[in-house]
């Protein structure tokens, strides 16, 4: 039987295919385009976002230094496996990988962890980042009144996202870890000019100093994480809004081919600077029969590569070249491995992922077990 036989056929135009079990009102079927924000307002959001971003990095860096006595040699950071579990579990708990990835660089900059531990923590943040897609898929499915394939379709995107991320990042990270440990990236230097760095510090560095003067040392790191999240929200207002309506109303079959979908995943994630946002867009598209689940894997693969752009920017702004090398090692190794998979093993990869997803969705107990594993594995890694 074909792997795609259980998926609803894609829409051939503006008409959206009916999916059993998802009786949604028209406003839930097509995502409306939000009004364009005036350029002046976008500029204000951009400057404010930069201010929050720089402030957050300063607070997290100071907070990491204060956390050294607690974290250094503790169960969370005593070896690279522990930091892998910490990054994975943290991304699952905060439903986002970007703050945890930035935290791995701040802890490295503050001396709480070394660069191999920062590497594994960054990798872990990617493994847990797609958990939010599973949560959104479950919520989307619960909104429906029916059952069967209509409810399973949105949840399957979360499962496929987690599977594809693990397949791309685990083998790729093993190679990247070995290269980083052997000094393959030691010659890499990427940084901003001193004038740019001093300009951002002059304009926005005072905000971090104000918080440091009034907040206890142990609060600096969590406050920095909160400020970072606020900065990401402002960047979302500046960057172009990519809605499902802009993708679904296509009457060609380009979305059934792996390389166009791969490039789309790269582009949407670059536009949103959030793999959580770009992958979550797939949930309504698959639920409504616009896309087949089997055609989403290249998109997920592309999103997983470009999701590290914001982390690389954070590393460059921090001025810590070890942080830059950590992000580069993850990005290069995972990108090469992903491209090899798509070029030479796409069909068995797609078939295997779809079979696992169908098996997990075979019962509520299996789905609950799958979700439990997402937390049990990082906890076990931390305990090692």
HSE at residue 127, side-chain half, CA atoms within 13 A, is: 27
pLDDT above 90 covers what percent of the chain? 35
Residue written as tokens 């083998």?
A: 171
Q: Print burial letters for 302-328: b (CB count within 10 Å at least 16), e (below 16).
A: bbbbbbbebbbebbbbbebbbbbbbbb
On the question of pLDDT at 244 being above 50, the answer is no
DSSP 264-295: HHHHHHHHHT-HHHHHHTHHHHHHTTSS-GGG
On the question of pLDDT at 125 being above 90, the answer is yes
Under the banding of pLDDT at 50, 70 and 90, the label for residue 343 is: very high
Does residue 32 come out as left (phi exceeding 0), alpha (psi in the -120 to 50 range) or beta?
Answer: beta
pLDDT for res 68: 58
**Secondary structure E strands in the chain:** none
Averaged pLDDT score across all residues of the chain: 79
The per-residue pLDDT for range 84-104, each reduced to its tens digit, is: 999 999 889 877 788 888 889
Q: Which residues contact 298 (CB under 8 A, 6 or more apart)?
A: 258, 259, 261, 262, 265, 342, 346
Q: Chain-centre distance of CA 116, in angstroms?
A: 20
pLDDT for res 371: 95
Residues in the chain: 384
Helix (H) or strand (E) holding 141: helix 131-143
Six token digits for residue 39: 């350029």
Closest Cα to residue 19, out of 126, 165, 150?
150
Residue of higher predicted confidence among 105 and 276: 105
pLDDT for res 184: 92
On the question of pLDDT at 205 being above 50, the answer is yes
pTM listed for this prediction: 0.73
Six token digits for residue 56: 């957050």
On the question of pLDDT at 316 being above 90, the answer is no
Among 40-54, 173-187, 241-255, name the one with the lowest average pLDDT: 241-255
Six token digits for residue 98: 């970007």
77: phi then psi, degrees, rounded to nearest 5: -135, 25
Six token digits for residue 360: 């997990």
Q: Chain-centre distance of CA 287, in angstroms?
A: 21
Under the banding of pLDDT at 50, 70 and 90, the label for residue 19 is: very low
Whole-number Cα distances in Å, 7 to 151, 248, 261, 289, 314 = 12, 16, 17, 8, 40
pLDDT above 70 covers what percent of the chain? 77
Under the banding of pLDDT at 50, 70 and 90, the label for residue 235 is: low
Question: How many other CB atoms are found less than 10 A from the CB of residue 367?
Answer: 18
The per-residue pLDDT for range 184-198, each reduced to its tens digit, is: 998 887 765 555 555
On the question of pLDDT at 15 being above 70, the answer is no
pLDDT for res 311: 82
Among 43-52, 175-184, 196-205, 295-304, name the one with the lowest average pLDDT: 196-205
Whole-number Cα distances in Å, 249 to 19, 154, 245, 289 = 17, 19, 6, 12
């Amino acid at each position: 039987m074909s792997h795609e036989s259980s998926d609803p056929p894609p829409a051939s135009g503006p008409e959206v295919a009916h999916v059993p079990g998802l009786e949604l009102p028209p406003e839930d079927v097509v995502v409306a385009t939000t009004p364009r924000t005036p350029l002046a307002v976008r500029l204000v959001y951009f400057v404010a976002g930069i201010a929050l971003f720089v402030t957050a990095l300063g607070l997290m860096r100071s907070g990491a230094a204060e956390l050294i006595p607690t974290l250094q040699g503790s169960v969370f950071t005593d070896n690279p496996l522990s930091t892998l579990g910490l990054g994975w579990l943290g991304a699952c708990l905060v439903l986002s990988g970007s703050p945890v990835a930035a935290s791995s660089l701040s802890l490295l900059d503050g001396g709480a962890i070394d660069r191999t531990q920062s590497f594994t923590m960054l990798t872990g943040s990617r493994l847990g980042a797609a958990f939010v897609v599973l949560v959104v898929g479950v919520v989307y499915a619960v909104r429906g009144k029916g059952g069967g394939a209509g409810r399973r379709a949105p949840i399957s995107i979360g499962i496929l996202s987690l599977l594809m991320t693990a397949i791309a990042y685990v083998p790729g990270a093993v190679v990247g870890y070995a290269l980083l440990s052997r000094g393959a990236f030691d010659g890499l230097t990427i940084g901003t000019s001193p004038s740019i760095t001093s300009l951002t510090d002059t304009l926005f560095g005072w905000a971090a100093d104000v918080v440091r003067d009034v907040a206890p040392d142990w609060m600096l790191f969590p406050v920095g994480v909160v400020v970072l999240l606020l900065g990401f929200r402002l960047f979302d207002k500046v960057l172009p809004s990519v809605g499902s309506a802009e993708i679904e109303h296509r009457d060609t079959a380009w979305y059934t081919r792996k390389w166009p979908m791969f490039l789309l995943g790269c582009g949407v994630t670059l536009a949103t600077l959030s793999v959580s946002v770009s992958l979550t867009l797939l949930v309504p598209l698959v639920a409504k029969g616009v896309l087949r689940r089997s055609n989403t894997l290249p998109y997920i693969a592309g999103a997983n590569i470009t999701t590290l752009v914001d982390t690389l920017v954070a590393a460059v702004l921090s001025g810590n070249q070890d942080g830059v090398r950590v992000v580069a090692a993850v990005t290069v190794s995972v990108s090469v491995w992903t491209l090899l998979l798509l070029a030479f093993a796409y069909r068995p990869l797609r078939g295997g992922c779809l079979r696992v997803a169908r098996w997990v969705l075979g019962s509520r107990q299996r789905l609950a077990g799958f979700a439990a594993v997402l937390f049990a594995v990082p906890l076990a890694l931390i305990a090692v």
